[in-house]
Structure 1
Amino acid sequence: MKLSAISPALLGLAASVHAYTVNYTTVTGYFLQDETATDASTFDYTAVNFGLLNRTYPADKKLKNAESLTQWERFYNQVQELNDESHGDVEYKVLFLGRHGEGWHNAAQTYYGTPAWNCYWAELKGNGTATWYDAELTENGVDQALVAHNFWQKEIDEQRIHTPDNYFVSPLARTLQTANYTFTDLKFPKGSAEFKPLIKELFRESISIHTCDHRHDRAYIHEMFPTWPIEAGFTEQDELWNGVTGETNDAQDQRSTKALDEVFFTSASVKKDTFVSVTSHSGEISSILRVVGHRTFSLNTGAVIPVLVRAEKLVHEKPDTTTSTWTVSAHCTSPPVTSVAACVCQSSAAPVTTALVTSF
C-alpha cells in the first residue's frame, strides 16, 4: 500500500528552475573504502588515514617539493588539479561523510532487538528510562565523536590535512551534538574555514515512522546552537514526519540528490571549496553513496569516510519532475509477543497503520 501523504514540495523535489540536472560519480582509486576487498564492518578510519591510499598522483609531477609533502597535501593538490583542468560544467569535491555517534535510539534497538524495535518501541518517545524521540547521544556516542575530534587534530598536526571548506549538518539532535564535539575547539591551520555548519533539512536521516526521525522545532534547534546558521526556508515545525508514512529508497535518493545539488555549483569560487563535511546518519549516508555511484559501505556509529565525487551538469530542455511515493508501515499497539526473527503482535493488538504518537 502506498500513499503520497506528504507533499513532495515540502522536500523541495519539484522541478528545478535550472534547465539542467547533475550527474554524480565516485572517482575511485584514492581510498580503501572504494575497493571491494575492504570490509566495512571492520574498517577503522583512524587506523588507515581516513582510508587514503599511499600512492603517487599525476599532479605530483608539477610539484617542486612533492617529496616533502604529506599524502593528504599531495591529494589535496591532485583534487585542485582535477578542478583546474576540468571545464566549467564539471566539479570535483571530497565529501567527508560522518555518521553521528551512538544515540539512545541505537542503544534501545540493541536492547529490544531490531524486529521489536521496528514494530513497536521505535514508535514511542521512550520507555520511561531513556528518551529516543529526536534521540541525543549516549555517553558512548559522545566518546565516539571525541575520537573523531582527536583524529582530526592528529591529521591536522601530522598530515597537515586541508580541513573542510564547508560544513553541513542534519537538523536532528544527535548529529548536531556529534558535529559540535567533533569540530569545536580544534586547532585549525591558519586560513582555514571557520567551523560554523549550515543546518540543512535534506541531510536528515531516512524519514520513517520512528520518533527518532522526528526533529525538534526550529526554535529548539536554534537554542541548542544559536551561532550556527539554519538554511533559508527551514520550517518551524517538522512538516515531513507524521508517524504513518516513510520514505522509500527512491524517495530518499531524490532528496539526497537535491541536497547535493545545493552543495555543488553554488558560487563562482566553488571549485576552490573542494573539501566538504557532512555530518549525517547511516541511512542518509547510504543514500548519498547510492546517488554518487559508490559501492555500499555501512558506517559504524561515529565513523567518517571521505569520498571523491565528480559532478557534471547535464543540460536539458525540461527538468525531470518525477517524484516517488512514500510507504505506510504497520506496527503493533503494545509490546510484541515475540521478535526473535520477526515481529508478532499480541492477538489483542493487531497491526495498525495509525500513528502511536500524535503530538509532540
Structure 2
Amino acid sequence: MKLSTLAAVHAALATITIATSMNYTTVTGHFLQDDNATNATTFDYTTTNLGLINRTYPSDTSTTQTQTQWQRFTHHLTTLNANTPPHTTHKLLILGRHGEGHHNAAESFYGTPAWNCYYSLLNGNATTSWADPTLTEEGIEQALVANKFFAHALSESGMPAPQSYYTSPMQRCLATANLTFSGLDLPAKYPFIPTIKEFLREGISLHTCDRRHNRTYIASMYPDYPFEAGFAENDTYWTGVVGETPDAQDVRSRTVLDDIFSNDNSTYISITSHSGEIASLLRVLGHRVFSLRTGAVIPVLVKAETMKDEVSTSTPSFTISPHCTAPLMTSASSFGVGGCLCPSSAAPVTTPLISIGPFRR
C-alpha cells in the first residue's frame, strides 16, 4: 500500500552497517508455494497441509515409509543440515500475515485510490481508529482458523512445532500471533514466547497504520513478550512525511534476517508480520512473488551461507509523496501511474494531515 512517487524527492535514511554477509537461497521443490504454477490468489494453506508437497526425499529409508509427510520432511531437513559444509544451514521459516485489521477494512470500504491518497493519512473516522490498528472480528476469526490448523498439523500430521517465535511490534501482528499460537500443545522446551523485533514491521509509509505504539504500551498489552535488545521506547521510523522505498525495505529485511540467522540456532522459526514486509523477506530470500491474503501463512525452506566477514554500508532512500487534503471526487485515480488525483479545491500536499500525538484508544 505505497503512496505515489509523483514528484518524489529522496531523503537519506541513516546509513546501515552490516557486519557479516549472508547469502540466502530458497530451496524449491518442497512446498506448493515454490511452484510458479500455484495461484497465490486462490491458494488455501489450510487444505493443503501448509503446501507441503507429497514427495519422496533422498533421506527416505525403510523406517520412514510409515511416517507422515511432515515427519519425513523433518528427517530430510535434519539430514540436510548434518551434511552441509561449515557456515551453511537450512531453516524452515513459517511466515504468517496478520489477520484483517481495521485499516484493511477501511481500504475496502473507501476504495484503494481514496484510501491511498487521503483516508490512510488520517487516524481513523468517527467509529474506527486505524492508526496501528487492532484486528476486526474477521481478522480474529482468521487467526483462530490458523490456530485450528496448527493444532491439527501438530497433533495429527506430525508437523514440527516452531522452536522460536518472532513478531512485528504492530498491534495487528501481536494479536494475530497470540491468537494463532496460544493454547497449542507445544513442546515444553519450545514455548510460545515471541520476541518483538522492530524491523519485522510493515513497510514504513505515510499511512498511520504503519505508526507503532510506544514500548510501554506494547509491554502493558503483552507483558510476557520480550523485546529485542535496543528496542526504542518511541517509534523513531514513522514520521508521516517520508515513506520507505522497496530498496530501503529490502535492506531492513536483510538486516533482520541476518540477525535471526546469526543468533538463533533454531531450525523451525515462526515470524508474524505483514503483507508488504513478507513480500520483502521473500525477495531477500530469493523466493518467487507470492502474495498473502490477511491471515494466510507461507513456509519457506531457506539455505543460508555465512560468507567471509566484511563490513558493508548501505544508505537506502525514503520518498516524500504528495497526497490529498480532501476525499477524492471520483473512484478512479492515477495512483500508481502518475499520483493522486485530488479535487481542484484540495491541492496535493506533502505534510501530515494529522497532529502527531497520543494514539486514540
Structure 1 match to 2:291: 298
8 Å Cα contact 2:197/2:227 also seen in 1: yes
- Unpaired runs of 5+ in structure 1? none
Matched residues in 2 for 1:168 and 1:322: separation? 25
Structure 2, unpaired ranges of 5+:
1-7, 335-339
Aligned counterpart, 2:51: 51
Which residue does 1:283 correspond to in 2? 276
Give structure 1 regions of 4+ aligned residues with deviation exceeding 3 angstroms.
Answer: none
Within the candidate set 205, 210, 219, 1:222 is matched to: 219
Q: Which residue of 2 aligns with 1:212?
A: 209
Letter in 1 for 2:277: E
Contact 2:12 2:316 in 1 (8 A): no
Within 2, Cα distance between the matches of 1:166 and 1:2? 40
Aligned position for 2:183: 185
Q: Tell me which residue corresponds to 2:170.
A: 172
> How much does 1:135 deviate?
1.0
Q: Distance in 2 between matches of 1:304 and 1:166?
A: 16
Following superposition, the deviation at residue 65 of structure 1 comes to 2.0
Partner Cα distance (1:313, 1:156) in 2: 31
How many residues align structurally?
345
Amino acid at match of 1:52: L
Q: Decide which of 262, 265, 268 is 1:265's aligned counterpart.
A: 262
2:13–2:316 CA contact under 8 A, matched in 1: no
Q: 2:330 is paired with a residue of what secondary structure?
A: coil
Deviation readout 1:127-149 (Å, 9 max, x if unpaired) = 11111000110000000000000
Which residue identity lines up with residue 79 of structure 1 in the other structure? L
Report the TM-score when normalising by structure 2. 0.93
For residue 333 of structure 1, the aligned residue among 325, 335, 348 is 325
Amino acid at match of 2:145: V
RMSD: 1.3
TM-superposed deviation, 1:313: 1.2
CA distance, structure 2, for counterparts of residue 92 and residue 298 of structure 1: 23
Q: Which residue of 2 aligns with 1:140?
A: 138
SS at match of 1:96: strand
Work out whether residues 99 and 280 of structure 1, in 8 Å CA contact, stay in contact via their aligned partners in 2. Answer: yes
Q: For residues 6 and 310 of structure 1, what CA distance do their matches in structure 2 show?
A: 30
Per the TM alignment, residue 88 of structure 1 is displaced from its structure 2 partner at its CA by 2.1
> How big is the shift at 1:154?
0.6
Quick check: 1:7 aligned with 2:5? no
1:309 alignment partner AA: V
Determine if contact 1:5/1:245 at 8 Å carries over to the other structure.
Answer: no
Within the candidate set 96, 120, 130, 1:98 is matched to 96
2-structure distance, mates of 1:87, 1:358: 55
Match of 2:305 in 1: 312
SS in 2 for 1:98: strand
Superposition deviation, residue 6 in structure 1: 4.3
* Equivalence for 1:36: 36
Q: 2: distance between equivalents of 1:6 and 1:121?
A: 26
Q: Is the 8 A contact 1:93 1:310 kept in 2?
A: yes
Paired residue for 1:253, among 250, 254, 262? Answer: 250
1:238 and 1:161 map into 2 onto residues whose CA distance is 37
TM-score, normalised to structure 1, is 0.93
